[in-house]
Amino acid sequence: MSQTYLPGQTRQGERILIAIAVVLTLLFIVAPLAYIFVRAFSEGWRVYAQNILDPATLHAIWLTTMVAIIVVPVNVAFGVVAAWAVAKHRFPGRGILVTVIEIPFSISPIIAGICYLLLYGRQGLLGPWLQANDLQVMFALPGIVLVTMFVTAPFVAREVLPLMQAQGSEQEEAAVTLGASGWQVFRRVTLPNIRWALLYGAVLCTARAVGEFGGVSVVSGNIRGQTNTLPLHVELLFNDLNAVGAFAAASTLTLLAVVALILKAVLEGKRST
């Protein structure tokens, strides 16, 4: 940011605006975050540890991690391939593909969840077939993974696509004339050029995959110790009037988010150099 020096009155106005921004940030972002930890530790370390080590909470942490471990690599691959196809090639339906990539951003996750329920659920379109083949999609890990994948699909593509478009295809063309195969071009030229944007997209994708609530709540069935992801578990504990437990579970999610934020800041710096 460049700072402009303006006459006294305006600088006063500037200060007031900054003060308002700071107060609002403290009030609406920092205070609630801090309060999570205050409440989580309100009955001491021991109770906090007990709550975290509760089997249902541990299972929720494990399940959420599993979902992220499956979803993020798939979406990284999807994002790179989609961005590459759109940025470096001209084909019919290219514009439609760009729009399709954006769809999950504009659809409420809960609607995505309901769509999957209508498609894969017991009464759904594919329900009878799935049942006949003994495949459980809804109210199980596959359903949670599918919905999370849908919701987080655009993150990587959105970061990588503009960069690829700005870079054009000349470097790839140069590599081809020098005899590089398709895979060599990708690994030695395309990938190094997008690596920071790709990591940045992966961090955003992870943060969202871990925190996804609405869509997952429809398809998970909220079975404690089985299909309860961490955000769902927080709500469950809260509804059980176990406030300390809820805040303890929430603190793990918050920590994850803070780590993601720090990574994001670091990567943003790298990306702009």
Partner 1 sequence: MSIQISAMTKRFGKTDVLRGIDLSVQKGELVALLGPSGSGKTTLLKIIAGLEWPDAGQLAVEDQDWLQLAAQDRRIGFVFQHYALFPHMSVRDNIAFGLSVRPRAERPGKSVIAAKVDELLHFLQIAHLADRYPGQLSGGQRQRVALGRALAIEPKVLLLDEPFGALDAAIRRDLRRWLRGVHEATGSTTIFVTHDQEEAFELADRVVVMGAGKIEQIGHADAIHDHPATPFVARFMGATVDLPVTLQAGRADGAGLDLTALARRALPDGAARLLVRPQDITPVPDADAPWRIVTRMSNGAHLRLVLIHPDLGEAEADVPRRAVKAEALIPDATVRLKIEGGTIFPRDQPQHATVDTPKTTPTRLESSR
Residues that bind partner 1 (CB under 8 A): 170-171, 173-181, 184, 188-189, 192-193
Q: Which is nearer to partner 1, 190 or 227 (CB)?
A: 190
Nearer to partner 1, 12 or 184 (CB): 184
For partner 1, the closer CB: 4 or 273: 273
Please, what is the minimum distance in Å from the beta carbon of residue 196 to partner 1? 11
The least CB distance from residue 239 to partner 1, in Å, is 51
Least distance between partner 1 and beta carbon 93 (Å): 17
CB 170 to partner 1: min, Å: 4
Q: Are residues 139 and 220 in contact, defined by beta-carbon separation less than 8 angstroms?
A: yes
**For residues 171 and 242, which CB has a smaller minimum distance to partner 1 in the complex?**
171
- Toward partner 1, which CB reaches closer, 15 or 188? 188
Minimum distance, C-beta of residue 199 to partner 1, in the bound complex (Å): 14
CB of 194 to partner 1, least distance (A): 11
User: Among residues 13 and 182, whose Cβ is nearest to partner 1?
Assistant: 182
